[in-house]
């Protein structure tokens, strides 16, 4: 690293020395978000919001392709609605924000600022659903929610955050379960193929499931610091909320029945996952599919050739934009090319295109990959045809690198001593047999601050990563399933 480079990145903490400070430094220096006067609330800056918009687009397309429609429900929920479901209330009670006054007048009934929307949506579904002909109801909303968190961290855990939440109603239990697994697969596909983050899909334990759900499924990702991050959840609500909110339909056989429901969601914490999975000491690394700028053009323009170089750079920018690339020309005169290199590397732009007088003479440009620093040469004439292959290679290689890290940091543990050594010294995912007893699960949590992230759906693959003897990691009794343990955000 040159002295100029060191000067540029000196205010970013080293990842291996202070990962928490590094994370915050990257967010602020890359202008993704900033703190606000409201405790635990962040302002998402344009560059950070542009990443979220691309995530929205990728998810929204997939959600609509599976037959869902977008709608919107109120941010306020009457206390009486929330109180209808005891487990739901208890699960969210510590995080609820209350509205007690409207202007100067005290409200006759307190309002909850939504921590999630099951209560208000169930109240509406009870009005809308009358017959089997009204089913299934497949609705998603993009919204903000508020959870009064004690400890906050930008993107990962904030008082207010953005998300999508799907809420569906079905005629049969089988249809609801199919929906749950369909949406879990949608999340896996998006996170792995657009975000280049490998995940482990699985079922949450009874202790870790969503409040009021029959069953919860999740995709779990591993961050570079060895901690797990829940990247998305899909819940089978069965008829629990339907009975509480009296959501019934007249079936084809003339019987009045309760619907079966699901809910599922992902949040802006996925932006945090991007940073923690792909980032390095120079800042962000963004996969091309969700990078606001896929290609940044940096002219190398000495004064005597400035007009010629800038004209060609502008021509390339127009050509690439017309070809559908997200491209930016950095033609600022007050900054050197080296400064610009660092500026855009910090922001994670996947590909830098350099062009100078000699490049124009040779009818070529220099391409520099952000993910591995590799330099390539491409002809000016066929640039539009060459770039997709380079960007696809970056996307594939970033996923492969993250998968390699996941594989190398997934370890077996046969007993508590072995698990504790891994959790405290190496972190990562620990594959261990579990008997299903909540007491064993709780003992691991209390002793190591590690939780069962999920019970992988692919048990055959999980067993290959676990000890050969199918005995519970805590009590040593025979066990039927392998679980993934880890410390988590």
| Within-domain flag for 197 | yes
- Give tens-digit pLDDT for 408-462: 999 999 999 999 999 999 999 999 999 999 999 999 999 999 999 999 999 999 9
Between the alpha carbon of residue 106 and those of residues 93, 102, 109, 120, 121, the distances in Å are 21, 6, 9, 22, 26
Work out the average pLDDT over 1-29: 77
Residue that is last in its domain, among 390, 419, 441: 390
Q: Do 130 and 15 fall within a single domain? A: yes
| Within-domain flag for 217 | yes
| Within-domain flag for 286 | no
Specify the residue for token string 């690198």: 401
Residue 143 and residue 165 in contact, taking contact as beta carbons nearer than 8 Å: yes
**Least confident piece of the model among 89-93, 200-204, 339-343:** 89-93
- Give tens-digit pLDDT for 31-51: 999 999 999 999 999 999 999
**CA Rg value for the chain:** 25
Beta bridge partners of 131: 250
Would you state the structure tokens that stand for residue 475, as one six-digit string?
């009590």
The Cα 183–Cα 203 span in angstroms is 13
Residue 336 and residue 297 in contact, taking contact as beta carbons nearer than 8 Å: no
Q: Do 130 and 213 fall within a single domain? A: yes
Q: Do 193 and 127 fall within a single domain? A: yes
Residue that is last in its domain, among 359, 390, 421: 390
Q: Secondary structure of 351-384 in the HEC alphabet?
A: EEEEECHHHHHCCEEEEEECCCCCEEEEECCCHH
Beta bridge partners of 369: 351
DSSP secondary structure letters along 274-304:
HHHHH-BTTB----GGG-S-SEEEEE---GG
The Cα 300–Cα 358 span in angstroms is 10
Please, what is the Cα angle at 350 between 349 and 351, to 5 degrees?
100
Task: Give pLDDT, residue 93.
Answer: 75
Phi, psi of 325 (to 5 degrees): -85, 150
The Cα 167–Cα 272 span in angstroms is 25
Q: Given a cut of 50, is residue 380 above it in pLDDT?
A: yes
Q: Do 415 and 382 fall within a single domain? A: no
Q: Please name which of 286, 290, 267, 265 lies closest in space to residue 275, comparing C-alpha atoms.
A: 286
Using pLDDT thresholds of 50, 70 and 90, give the confidence band for residue 5: very low
- Give tens-digit pLDDT for 279-328: 999 999 999 999 999 999 999 999 899 999 999 999 999 999 999 999 99
CATH number of the domain to which 25 belongs: 3.30.930.10
| Within-domain flag for 283 | no
**pTM of the complete model:** 0.95
Work out the average pLDDT over 85-95: 73
| Within-domain flag for 401 | no
Q: Do 41 and 118 fall within a single domain? A: yes
The Cα 407–Cα 405 span in angstroms is 5
CATH number of the domain to which 421 belongs: 3.30.110.30
> Which helix (DSSP H) or strand (DSSP E) does residue 113 occupy?
strand 105-113
The CB density around residue 392, as the number of other CB atoms within 10 Å, is 12
Q: Given a cut of 70, is residue 89 above it in pLDDT?
A: no
- Give tens-digit pLDDT for 113-162: 999 999 999 999 999 999 999 999 999 999 999 999 888 999 999 999 99
Would you state the structure tokens that stand for residue 93, as one six-digit string?
């009670």
The Cα 162–Cα 43 span in angstroms is 11
End-to-end CA distance of the chain: 32
| Within-domain flag for 162 | yes
| Within-domain flag for 404 | no
Q: Do 23 and 64 fall within a single domain? A: yes
Q: Given a cut of 60, is residue 10 above it in pLDDT?
A: no
The Cα 489–Cα 270 span in angstroms is 12
Q: Do 246 and 341 fall within a single domain? A: no
Residue 146 and residue 115 in contact, taking contact as beta carbons nearer than 8 Å: yes
Q: Given a cut of 50, is residue 173 above it in pLDDT?
A: yes
Q: Please name which of 61, 53, 50, 60 lies closest in space to residue 328, comparing C-alpha atoms.
A: 50
Residue 324 and residue 330 in contact, taking contact as beta carbons nearer than 8 Å: no
Q: Do 59 and 151 fall within a single domain? A: yes
Q: Do 118 and 250 fall within a single domain? A: yes
Residue 300 and residue 355 in contact, taking contact as beta carbons nearer than 8 Å: yes
**Least confident piece of the model among 115-119, 268-272, 310-314, 366-370:** 115-119
Q: Do 237 and 193 fall within a single domain? A: yes
Task: Give pLDDT, residue 90.
Answer: 74
Q: Do 132 and 263 fall within a single domain? A: yes
CATH number of the domain to which 361 belongs: 3.40.50.800
Q: Secondary structure of 10-35 in the HEC alphabet?
A: CCCCCCCCCHHHHHHHHHHHCCCEEE
**416-425 vs 438-448: helix crossing angle, rounded to 10:** 40
The CB density around residue 39, as the number of other CB atoms within 10 Å, is 11
The Cα 371–Cα 351 span in angstroms is 9
Query: What is the domain count for the chain?
Result: 3
**Least confident piece of the model among 91-100, 238-247, 341-350:** 91-100
**Residue 350: DSSP 8-state:** S
Based on the number of CB atoms within 10 Å of its own CB, is 113 exposed (0-12), middle (13-18) or buried (19 or more)?
middle
Task: Give pLDDT, residue 2.
Answer: 42
| Within-domain flag for 300 | yes
Task: Give pLDDT, residue 95.
Answer: 86
Q: Do 329 and 477 fall within a single domain? A: no
Residue 469's domain spans which residues? 411-486
Q: Given a cut of 50, is residue 3 above it in pLDDT?
A: no
């Amino acid at each position: 690293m040159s002295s100029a480079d060191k000067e540029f990145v000196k205010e970013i903490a080293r990842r291996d020395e202070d990962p928490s400070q590094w994370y915050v430094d990257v967010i602020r220096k890359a202008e993704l978000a900033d703190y606000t006067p409201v405790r635990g609330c962040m302002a998402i800056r344009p560059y950070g919001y542009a990443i979220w918009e691309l995530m929205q687009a990728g998810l929204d397309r997939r959600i609509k392709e599976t037959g869902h429609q977008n709608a919107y429900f109120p941010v306020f929920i009457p206390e009486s609605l929330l109180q209808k479901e005891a487990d739901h209330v208890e699960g969210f009670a510590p995080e609820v924000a209350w509205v007690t006054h409207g202007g100067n007048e005290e409200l006759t009934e307190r309002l909850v600022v939504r921590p999630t929307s099951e209560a208000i949506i169930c109240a509406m579904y009870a009005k809308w659903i009358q017959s089997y002909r009204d089913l299934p109801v497949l609705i998603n909303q993009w919204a903000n929610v508020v959870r009064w968190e004690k400890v906050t961290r930008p993107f990962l855990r904030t008082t207010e955050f953005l998300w999508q939440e799907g809420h569906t109603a079905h005629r049969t239990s089988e249809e609801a379960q199919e929906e749950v697994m369909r949406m879990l697969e949608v999340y896996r596909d998006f996170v792995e193929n657009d975000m280049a983050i490998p995940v482990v899909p699985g079922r949450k334990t009874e202790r870790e499931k969503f409040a009021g759900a029959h069953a919860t499924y999740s995709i779990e990702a591993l961050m570079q610091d060895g901690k797990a991050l829940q990247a998305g959840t899909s819940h089978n609500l069965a008829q629990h909320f339907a009975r509480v909110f009296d959501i019934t339909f007249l079936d084809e056989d003339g019987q009045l029945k309760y619907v079966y429901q699901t809910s599922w969601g992902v949040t802006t914490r996925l932006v945090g996952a991007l940073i923690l999975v792909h980032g390095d000491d120079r800042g962000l690394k963004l996969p091309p599919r969700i990078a606001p700028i896929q290609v940044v053009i940096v002219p190398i323009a000495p004064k005597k050739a400035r007009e010629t170089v800038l004209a060609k750079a502008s021509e390339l920018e127009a050509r690439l934009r017309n070809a559908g690339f997200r491209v930016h020309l950095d033609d600022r005169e007050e900054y050197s090319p080296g400064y610009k290199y660092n500026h855009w590397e910090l922001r994670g732009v996947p590909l830098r295109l350099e062009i100078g007088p000699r490049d124009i003479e040779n009818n070529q440009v220099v391409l520099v990959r952000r993910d591995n620093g590799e330099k390539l040469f491409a002809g000016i004439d066929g640039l539009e045809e060459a770039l997709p292959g380079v960007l696809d290679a970056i996307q594939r290689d970033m996923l492969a690198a993250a998968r390699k890290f996941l594989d190398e940091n997934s370890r077996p543990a046969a007993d508590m001593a072995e698990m504790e050594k891994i959790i405290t010294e190496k972190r990562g995912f620990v594959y261990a047999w579990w008997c299903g007893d909540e007491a064993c699960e709780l003992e691991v949590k209390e002793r190591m601050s590690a939780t069962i992230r999920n019970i992988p759906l692919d048990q055959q693959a999980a067993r290959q990563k676990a000890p050969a003897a199918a005995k519970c990691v805590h009590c040593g009794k025979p066990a039927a399933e392998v679980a993934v343990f880890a410390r988590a955000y």
